[in-house]
Amino acid sequence: MKQQQQMWVRVQESWENPGSLMYSLSDMDMSKHGWLMLPDTITVEFDIPNHVDVRALKLSQLEKTKKELQAEFTARVTELQSQINELLAIEG
């Protein structure tokens, strides 16, 4: 299914190639929030697959976030345990 949407174009300097510009799209004018935006909107056309399962997309996103948080938690707990072990070794 084809969709069309009016979009604003954000402009910023490239981090990878200083001196060149990068462009990204937004569904709202972010100039009020400090972003550099082109003055006119553009019309973007894109295809949406007929059978998009939004629930499955959301579940996948939540599972990914959960795994990332679990990894961060495990790393932090390991770091704390290491500090505890070092302090206990000093006392003994």
Q: Are 38 and 6 in contact (CB under 8 A)?
A: no
Together in a domain, 45 and 63: no
Quote the CA–CA distance of 24 and 14 in Å, as a whole number.
11
Together in a domain, 45 and 8: yes
pTM, full prediction: 0.50
pLDDT, tens only, 27-58: 999 999 988 999 999 999 998 888 888 899 99
Quote the CA–CA distance of 63 and 67 in Å, as a whole number.
6
Quick one: pLDDT at residue 18? 87
Domain that holds residue 67: 53-92
Quote the CA–CA distance of 9 and 39 in Å, as a whole number.
8
Quick one: pLDDT at residue 79? 96
Together in a domain, 27 and 14: yes
Question: By C-alpha distance, which of 49, 41, 42 is closest to 2?
Answer: 49
Which one is predicted more confidently, 48 or 65? 65
Please check the confidence at residue 68 and state whether its pLDDT lies above 90: yes
Together in a domain, 16 and 45: yes
Quote the CA–CA distance of 28 and 9 in Å, as a whole number.
9
Please check the confidence at residue 92 and state whether its pLDDT lies above 70: no
Please check the confidence at residue 72 and state whether its pLDDT lies above 70: yes
Overall number of domains in the chain:
2
Together in a domain, 60 and 44: no
Q: Are 27 and 44 in contact (CB under 8 A)?
A: no
